[in-house]
Amino acid sequence: MDISELIENFEFLDGWEDKYRYIIDLGEKLPPLAPEFHTEEWKVRGCQSQVWLVPHRQEDRLWFEGDSDAAIVKGLIAIVLMIYNDKSPAEIKSIAVDDIFAKLGLQEHLSPSRRNGLISMTEKIKNYAEVL
């Protein structure tokens, strides 16, 4: 699924309770992250929950794996990966992620700590795009 499909799916859901369930379902569909990546090296700072993001590069494309110890955060990781996976570093840097989060309504409906974690995840990915 791409981000436009996700936005469309969000529009069909009635309320935020349904949207939270959908986000959790997205997280449950993430492939498991290998245990060797559940280390400090891959941890995202600034998240209330434990979050790990692992970058991979194939030619000029980046893709990421992620995991969290919290169901809703794992779903947010799934959304972040939909936005950034299989993009070049230049594409990653040019994505207007705040606009996407606004279309999804995440900024208004997430707690401040969850919003901060979401920002930390996107910053970590942009940092990986700079150094890989």
The catalytic residues are 47
Side chain identity, residue 33: L
List Cα–Cα distances, 60 to 90, 93, 105, 121, in angstroms.
Answer: 10, 14, 31, 21
- Going by C-beta distance under 8 Å and a sequence separation of 6 or more, which residues neighbour residue 85? 62, 63, 64
Which residue intervals of 13-65 are DSSP H helices? 16-28
3-state secondary structure of 5: helix
E-assigned strand segments in 29-91: 51-58, 61-68
